[in-house]
Amino acid sequence: MTHVEPLTSACIALSLPLAKSIDPGLTLKSWQTFCEQMMGRAERGMDCVRDDNGYILGLMAYRAEPEPRVGRILAVDPLIAADLYGRDSVFEALLEHMEYIALEFQCAATRLFLPEQGCKQHVSALEKFASRGFTLQTICASKPISAQAASLLASVGSDNRKTVPSGPVLSSDKSPP
């Protein structure tokens, strides 16, 4: 049997192996920072699926965001389910919980950001989402901000973004999380 509950600070380290299943390069420090930014905030959170023995089998980070077509969406990134032996109980628990949170935050829709690595390895994941009413609407591309650009932004300060020169250094339009 499984149940969904908020991830606690004490369980962040226990959830790292599952998070590494979609990003093997994650460090405990970076994962802890991310989790702490998501936990205990208005209209965002970090929840986990645990079994009766306390093992973390699923993770879901979410935040309510404005969306021009429908008003508000619940953005979920990441959604990780370790369904053992072909059972979908963790996956199902996360999807059900996601809809509950979307209703709680008065969101008209949900949006999942699926890790490239996981989707390429498990094409059936897309089929699972499709069978539950999800449609592929967006392909997301990301690009790290260069050290040169970060240094330039730090030198002018975050309140003066409009004065930062444009050009190849700041060509990414990636907005902060």
Residue written as token pair 């959170």: 45
- Considering the segment(s) 2-140 as one domain, its CATH architecture is 3-Layer(aba) Sandwich (3.40)
Q: Whose CA is closest to 83, among 93, 73, 75?
A: 93
In whole angstroms, give the CA distance from residue 175 to residue 61: 18
- Distances in whole angstroms, Cα of residue 49 to Cα of each of 13, 94, 149, 154: 15, 7, 39, 39
132-147 per-position pLDDT tens digit: 787 766 666 656 667 7
Cα(25)–Cα(177) distance, integer angstroms: 19
Q: Is the pLDDT assigned to residue 65 strictly greater than 50?
A: yes
Q: Yes or no: say if 56 and 11 are a contact pair by the CB < 8 Å rule.
A: yes
Going by their DSSP bridges, the two strands 56-67 and 44-51 should be labelled as: antiparallel
Q: Could you state, in order of their start, the residue ranges of all structural domains in the chain?
A: 2-140, 143-177
Is the pLDDT reported for residue 155 higher than 50?
yes
Model pLDDT, residue 32:
96
Using one digit for the tens of pLDDT, what is the confidence trace for 1-35?
Answer: 889 999 999 999 999 999 998 889 999 999 999 99
